[in-house]
Amino acid sequence: MAGDFDLEDREDMARLNAGHDVALNALMDRHGERLFHYLLRQLNNETDAADLAQETFVRVYHHRARFDPGQRFATWLYAIATNLLRDRFRWHKRHPQVSLDAEPDGAGAIVDTLPDGSASASERLVAEERAVEVRAAIESLPEELRTPLILSEYEGLSHAEIGAVLACSAKAVETRLYRARNHLRKRLAGMQQD
């Protein structure tokens, strides 16, 4: 299936380069939802994730001539999105904001998985609490560890593909994933005992 997408992606990028702007729609249809979820996991804000997803495809359009047909489109797409994320994180560090609408107890947080409908109310509550703890643990990771973890665990990219996205070696990705998982293991150790 991924091979079919790779071929379709290359064909659509060739069409886009030839002036057929509607080819971008096919790329957005194939990759838009996964890209949005990747950005949502990074930003934990639907509006910001949607904005960055849109900006990513704008960059694809503007830089279409730079695409190398020898590489996977998805890798190139995630590299663009990750660079936009880095810019966004840097901007937020320089311009911190406090929302007046923020809930101090974290209410209204987006849950990655829906609780099992057959589970009891207490089991669903425990599952939701664990999901919140896991999300908080992932968010606490430094960006250099969080990004490869999300690309690996949620997006299913290989170490080599993540290395291409992050402009580092597959071995560096492996090291970052090891460090990220160790950090999560320590932070979530108490949760495993419950």
Domains and CATH numbers, the chain: 1-97 (1.10.1740.10), 116-194 (1.10.10.10)
* 56 — pLDDT class (breaks 50, 70, 90): very high
The stretch 68-79 carries a mean pLDDT of 93
Backbone dihedral region for residue 34 (phi beyond 0: left; psi -120 to 50: alpha; all else: beta): alpha
Q: What percent of the chain has pLDDT over 70?
A: 81
Q: Which residues of 145-180 are buried (b: 16+ CB within 10 A; e: fewer)?
A: bbbbbbbbebbebebebbbbbbeeeeebbeebbebb
**pTM for this model (two decimals):** 0.68
Query: Kind and range of the H or E element at 160?
Result: helix 159-166
Select from 165, 139, 123 the least CA-distant residue to 40.
Answer: 139
Dump strand ranges (E) for 79-129.
none
Quick: pLDDT tens for 17-52: 999 999 999 999 999 999 999 999 998 889 999 999
